Amino acid sequence: MMGCLEKLAARRRKTGAILCIGLDPDLEKMPAVVARGAEPLYHFSRLVVEATSRYACAFKPNLAFFEAYGSKGIAQLEKLLAEIPSEVPTILDGKRGDIGNTSRLYARFLFEHLNGDAATINPYLGQDSLEPFFDYPGKVAFVLCLTSNPGSADIQTLQTGGRAVYQGVIDHLRAFDGRYGLVVGAQHQEMLADVRQRAPNAPLLIPGVGAQGGELAGAVTQAATGGAPALINVSRDILYASSQSDFAEQAAARAEWYVAAMKPLLSP
């Protein structure tokens, strides 16, 4: 069975790009006819997946959009994950992280029960909170490094001991080389280059392009450097390209546009 990085490499060869499609099913933004129906989170996301999978290197379900509806939401997530093509990696975006024994249970849920290929995790609690996610061969734990939200500068770029906090995260993770990836927002162009230099072998997950205003060309150019794969995540700009019944077709058209824009910027 192929691990996450092998799947990503195969998808890049097939699609010619590095597009990750975020699945954030919002009842207020999807067409009303879907939102009012049975299992709307599942049906909306499934139709988007079916329409866009030919362009996707990975899909990234944001767990909050499912967890907000309790057991019914989780059931829809489980049903959706079972139908995503197995050759397309799934990144479970929950930003988990807690004391060691709790992190072990988070990791079990994400990697065993939901069978995700990767997950996003929070390094704030330190090494014992990270290690359980690194104990799954073939899986990738993307550690938050420089996030795409406006408040990321409140802590992540603070200077301490002669380096920024995000740089300290990278330095600490060197002990786990080969077992982690990094989340770096597309808004941080100069710091993205610094991250690539400091961690050339770490896979990158780069959110923030599209609705959050991150610039595509610079992010792709930085992503293409280094010796490890990278993904440019786009969520709302693809999911909600249309609020009408043609939403899946328009999502596919938008995903195709992103792939076409990326290809010239990526080295063969």
CATH H-level superfamily of 4-265:
Aldolase class I (3.20.20.70)
Report which DSSP code applies to 31.
-
Span 77-108, pLDDT tens digits: 999 999 999 999 999 999 999 998 999 999 99
Q: Contact at 8 Å (CB) between 200 and 226?
A: yes
Give whole-number Cα distances, 81 to 43, 86, 191, 225, in Å: 12, 9, 33, 31
Q: Contact at 8 Å (CB) between 143 and 121?
A: yes
pLDDT band at 221 (very low <50, low <70, confident <90, very high): confident
Q: Contact at 8 Å (CB) between 44 and 63?
A: no
Q: Residues with Cβ < 8 Å from 52, sequence gap 6 or more? A: 21, 238, 248, 251, 252, 255
- Identify whether 79 is a catalytic site residue: no
Q: What is the pTM of this model?
A: 0.95
Q: What is the mean pLDDT of the chain?
A: 93
Span 2-38, pLDDT tens digits: 899 999 999 999 999 999 999 999 999 999 999 999 9
Instruction: Tell me what the mean pLDDT of segment 155-159 comes to.
Output: 91
Of these residues, 7, 60, 95, 139, which one is catalytic?
95
pLDDT higher than threshold 80 for residue 227: no
* Other Cβ atoms closer than 10 A to 253: 16
